[in-house]
Amino acid sequence: MAPEILEQPCEDEVLLDLWHPLGAVETMPRNRTWKDRLLGVPLTLSRSSEGRLAVWRRQDDDPESAAWPAEGPPASTLPVIERYGYLWTSLGTPRPLFEIPEADESNRRVLHAISVTARTSAPRGIENFLDMGHFPFVHTSVLGDEPHTEVKDYNVEVSVADGEILATDCVFYQPRAALSSQGGAEVDYVFRVPHPHCSVLYKSSPGAEGRFDVIGLFVQALDQERIRAHMWLCLLDDDQPDWALRRFQVSIFGQDKPILENQLPRRLPLDPRAETPIRADKSGVAYRRWLSQLGVRYGVIPGAA
């Protein structure tokens, strides 16, 4: 077994006081205890035979894997919630988790798609998710295609009151925007970043005019340069089997992963002069500026004062 990477845990209060995803509840075995990691902090997770979940800072004598402790979890457990099908925890004093109202609509299909690890930082993962410009070159014949490479101008707003970024009026031609798509079309997008490590994408649904499918990217920062990306679907289309929807998302992330892992530096530079932006990068530029304004230093290369 490879030795565990040890590093300075996160000290950014703005990140410590947020909820962070630890995985889909449906994938977590009952009557088991196992190790995990968040923001550089070693954790132990446990789920009882009745389904109760607990998370605590890992002790030196915590086993790699074991049954739910007979005496129960230690008294000093971390706060936990279950939302959108995932287990979330916080290393500080958490504020309310962002809302996705569509998750509670009765005619939608909510599905955990995949969880994938990658050698990159959480901010790099989010910025890649916001980037329409890479669609024709990385997701060729699916999310983009030549000669349709232009990213049309769109609007980006940073809301201090709501604590999020919103990119609207995004339109991009896609040969196969969704698994159920029958041909190419211009697709309407809205990108929302309600959390430094989470993004929510709204895209026009092929079977429901005027309504949007919702795709969430919930990133678990294992440390500053390793992530586990959890992909969440909230769809109006119910015709495709779960395995097909998951396979489609695996293929998309499989194309992104080598790009992310070969992008250096792995931590996202916040200095606007570090990587030259173009017009298509408006949402990424706003995201970097927002992280800087929040005082985020974990997983980034801070800009000059």
C-alpha distance from residue 223 to each of 35, 117, 122, 144, 183 (Å): 14, 12, 9, 32, 40
Regarding whether 107 and 61 lie in a shared domain, the answer is: no
pLDDT of residue 260: 84
Regarding whether 67 and 140 lie in a shared domain, the answer is: no
Range of the domain at 65: 13-89
Q: How many domains does the chain have?
A: 2
Kindly give the pairing relationship between strand 268-269 and strand 300-301.
Answer: parallel
pTM: 0.88
Query: Do residues 236 and 105 make contact, with C-beta atoms less than 8 angstroms apart?
Result: no
Per DSSP, helices labelled H in the chain are 13-16, 122-130, 135-138, 242-261, 282-294
Regarding whether 201 and 85 lie in a shared domain, the answer is: no
User: Among 251, 263, 278, 304, which Cα is nearest to 123's?
Assistant: 263
Regarding whether 246 and 149 lie in a shared domain, the answer is: yes
Q: Which residues of the chain have pLDDT under 70?
A: 1-6, 132-153, 160-161, 172-185, 207-208, 238, 274-280, 304-305
Cβ count within 10 A of residue 183? 9
Regarding whether 107 and 81 lie in a shared domain, the answer is: no
Decide if 8 is inside a domain.
no
pLDDT of residue 300: 96
Regarding whether 284 and 212 lie in a shared domain, the answer is: yes
Alpha carbon 73 to chain centroid distance?
28
Q: Token pair 């609007």 is at which residue? A: 155
Regarding whether 176 and 139 lie in a shared domain, the answer is: yes
User: Among 8, 155, 147, 22, which Cα is nearest to 89's?
Assistant: 22
Regarding whether 270 and 147 lie in a shared domain, the answer is: yes
Regarding whether 199 and 275 lie in a shared domain, the answer is: yes
Domain of residue 249, CATH code:
3.90.380.10
Tokens for 85, please give them: 């099908």
**What is the distance between the alpha carbons of residues 20 and 38, in angstroms, rounded to a whole number?**
8
Regarding whether 150 and 17 lie in a shared domain, the answer is: no
Regarding whether 119 and 76 lie in a shared domain, the answer is: no
Tell me, what amino acid is at 17? D
Decide if 1 is inside a domain.
no
**What is the distance between the alpha carbons of residues 228 and 118, in angstroms, rounded to a whole number?**
6
Decide if 5 is inside a domain.
no
User: Among 254, 133, 238, 219, which Cα is nearest to 178's?
Assistant: 238
User: Among 157, 120, 183, which Cα is nearest to 286's?
Assistant: 157
Decide if 6 is inside a domain.
no
User: Among 266, 276, 269, which Cα is nearest to 303's?
Assistant: 269
pLDDT of residue 215: 92
In angstroms, how far is the first alpha carbon of the chain from the final one? Answer: 42
Decide if 95 is inside a domain.
no
Regarding whether 159 and 203 lie in a shared domain, the answer is: yes
pLDDT of residue 72: 77
Domain of residue 57, CATH code:
2.102.10.10
